[in-house]
Homo-oligomer: A and B are copies of this chain.
């Protein structure tokens, strides 16, 4: 079995260099494993490594973002605050890019289905929280999508301007923007 730590190290390479830029040499250096060892764990090579990295991210998001959003024992406002806190963690306050965005801008259509499922799950789960908060179905769906738009857009702008402020601002205002009547 592959250690979680190894996958985490592989993830950093894909985040930083993109799919094409994540060479086996870089993946090897990041993990401390030789190329041949990587092929022992991922027989189908780089594509399987990227898929594992995506799965790892999916698991993290399910545990740290989706699950808290589903916790019906807590108030909607609290669940959304927990989401923004974890999103802030996931992207290191806007300093680290989103692996979903990085891979979706690539040309490897193989990952698009997996990315699409992850985005849909996030949006649908968030929309349900907003319905719990009293919003109608249509508004809830629209605002949930808007949340992802703002998070992803802020990550791009923060990187483009080399200034994390836009991201921090979005994260801070998001709960109130989502829940306003």
- Residues of A whose CB lies within 8 Å of any CB of B are 16-21, 97, 100-102, 104-107, 112, 115-116, 119-120, 142, 145, 148-154, 156-157, 159-162, 166, 169-170
Contacts and interface: CB of A to CB of B under 8 A. Distances in A.
Given A106-B18, A149-B166, A150-B150, A156 B156 contact: yes
Nearest 7 pairs of A and B residues by beta carbon? A153-B153, A149-B153, A20-B20, A152-B156, A152-B153, A20-B21, A119-B160
A106 B152 contact: no
A120 B161 contact: yes
Given A112-B162, A116-B162, 6 more contacts: A18-B20, A18-B105, A18-B106, A105-B159, A116-B161, A148-B153
A116 B18 contact: no
B116 A145 contact: no
Nearest to A100: B160
Nearest to A118: B160
Contacts of A160: 100-101, 104, 112, 115-116, 119
B119 A157 contact: yes
**Most chain B CB neighbours (cut-off 10 Å) among A115, A150, A151, A156:** A156
